[in-house]
Amino acid sequence: MSQKQNARTANQVEHELAFRGYSTADVAKCTGVKPASIRTALWRNGHFYGVKPIRLGGGSNENAAVPGGRLVWPADEIDALLQRGAA
């Protein structure tokens, strides 16, 4: 598969997840926490209040199709977190 096809596939995945996930900035607004604090919690603990994001592209993977990488937080898990009032 060529890189052009890989990039298209990653863009399709990102588009699909946009409807089912939140950006770090969105999670920060909902929880009243700074985006940097969310990223720090993820770096230190591997999660933010038990929620692990999906990383799109970037990172240490040389074959990543999406440069820079983005975190998409699963909407159902974030919604459940907000209902519990944990954040």
Q: What is the pTM of this model?
A: 0.66
How many domains, the chain?
Answer: 1
pLDDT digits (tens, 9 = 90+) for 4-43: 555 556 666 666 655 578 999 999 999 999 999 999 999 9
Q: What is the pLDDT of residue 61?
A: 53
Name which residue leads in pLDDT, 72 or 61: 72
Give Cα separations from 26 to 14, 44, 62, 86 (angstroms): 16, 20, 28, 16
Grade residue 52 by pLDDT with cuts at 50, 70 and 90: very high
CB atoms within 10 A of CB 54: 14
Quick one: how far is CA 2 from the chain centroid? Answer: 26
Q: What is the DSSP letter of 51?
A: B
* Residues composing the chain: 87
Indicate which CATH number applies to the domain containing 50: 1.10.1660
Range of the domain at 56: 3-84
